[in-house]
Amino acid sequence: MSDHLSASSWTVSTRTRGSAVSMLAILALVALAFAAPLFVSRSVVQDLFFILTMLVLAQCWNLLAGYAGLVSVGQQAFVGFGAYAMFAGVSLLGMDPMAAIVLGGLAALALSVPTAFFVFRLQGAYFAIGTWVIAEIVRLSLAQWKALGGGTGTSLPSGATRDMVGVRFVADLLGVRGPQATDIVCYWLALLLAVVTIGSIYKLLRSKQGLGLAAVRDNREAARSVGVDPTWTKSFVYLVAAFATGLAGALIYVQKARISPDAAFSVPDWTAYVIFIVVIGGIGTIEGPIVGVIVFYILQNMLADYGSWYLLILGLIGILIMLFAPRGLWGLFADRTGAQLFPVRRILAGQPKPPAQTQDIRGSD
């Protein structure tokens, strides 16, 4: 078919008209976020930390459920395992918390390998339940780890976070107290993690692997027939999500400084809320979790003082959105406006060759 490659002038791009503008806006926003600790109050930094870490978890879950069709209700396994590994690194091995966060991510990655082996034998709903059981097993096993407090839990050695790499420097540079400097360093780490996570997911989706992933999600059998290996594609995504989730878990618990199995493997905190964030914002888009986490944060601040009403309303909103706007708030918005901050569509442009050249293959009518 070599003669086909010659004359035509095709271009393939994923950019939309607005995408260059939105890329710039996003870069500006990231720069602004980086500088935020200089001019906002500590409580805002704190809230931003919460938003960013939840965003990372939501992006990871969305990557699994929205892009790979892997509905996991066991992501708390990786949050908790990453966090426990971080604690072990700091408390038992005397590592710097910063290094221990990386250890947390790696530990979650390591956990995901045997886990994947098991859960990928299961399909659909079985997969969901399988991930949940695995998370329970990990929780119950870590509850037996006496050196880290067993079921009681444990706290980071006092001062560990204050001696973390960079904290002293930030404290001196900005003239703030130790705990505040720790918060700022953690915030920057969260920002970095969020940006890298979103960037990597975006890059993945625009890569060949991302295309294969979409194909597998849409039609597994057909994907196999055009050369895509569904198991490998899904496993890859599963491992990546576990790694990022583990990093986020470790980071969250550096900030909390206290861990217990029930907290670190909490289904509501690390999976339920995350699912709500993705569903409210819009599953299967990068923008969705971003919108979702903001809405979730606002809801939480408005309603948190109403105790169980808060969760009740959150549940109702989740149900209503799933029933009436299954593509979430971002979906509603994008359907109206066609807006896309992170376009992944490959748009084909260019001219087909003049009819004379295609004569040989089309024949005359």
Residues between 10 and 39 with contacts to another protein, criterion CB under 8 A: 10, 12
Subset of 298-317 contacting another protein (CB under 8 A): 304-305, 307-312, 314-316
Q: Could you say whether residue 186 binds another protein (CB under 8 A)?
A: no
> Under rule CB under 8 A, how many of the chain's residues touch another protein?
116
Subset of 187-206 contacting another protein (CB under 8 A): none
Q: Could you say whether residue 140 binds another protein (CB under 8 A)?
A: yes
Binding residue (CB under 8 A) for another protein from 156, 204, 244, 274: 156
Binding residue (CB under 8 A) for another protein from 275, 290, 291, 329: 275
Name the nearest CA neighbour of 86 among 70, 75, 71, 97: 97
- 351: which strand partners? 9
Name the nearest CA neighbour of 64 among 248, 229, 216: 216
State the binding string over 62-91 for another protein (x if CB under 8 A, else -): ---x-----x-x----------------xx
Interatomic CA distance for residues 260 and 153, integer angstroms: 4
Q: Which is nearer to another protein, 175 or 307 (CB)?
A: 307
Subset of 44-63 contacting another protein (CB under 8 A): 46, 50
Interatomic CA distance for residues 35 and 44, integer angstroms: 13
Subset of 103-122 contacting another protein (CB under 8 A): 118, 121-122
Q: Which is nearer to another protein, 179 or 338 (CB)?
A: 179
Q: Which is nearer to another protein, 105 or 343 (CB)?
A: 343
Among the candidate windows 26-34, 173-181, 236-244, 333-341, which touches another protein by CB under 8 A? 173-181
Q: Could you say whether residue 174 binds another protein (CB under 8 A)?
A: no
Binding residue (CB under 8 A) for another protein from 263, 294, 299, 339: 263
Among the candidate windows 52-60, 97-105, 251-259, 330-338, which touches another protein by CB under 8 A? 251-259
Minimum separation from the CB atom of position 205 to another protein (A): 12
Minimum separation from the CB atom of position 239 to another protein (A): 19
Amino acid identity, position 31: A
Question: Which residue in this structure is represented by tokens 């271009």?
Answer: 11
Work out the number of other CB atoms within 10 angstroms of the CB of residue 10: 10
State the binding string over 277-296 for another protein (x if CB under 8 A, else -): --x---x-------------
Q: Could you say whether residue 235 binds another protein (CB under 8 A)?
A: no
Binding residue (CB under 8 A) for another protein from 26, 51, 99, 151: 151
Binding residue (CB under 8 A) for another protein from 161, 235, 245, 285: 161
Minimum separation from the CB atom of position 28 to another protein (A): 27
Distance of CA 280 to CAs 125, 273, 324, Å?
A: 21, 10, 11
Interatomic CA distance for residues 244 and 106, integer angstroms: 9
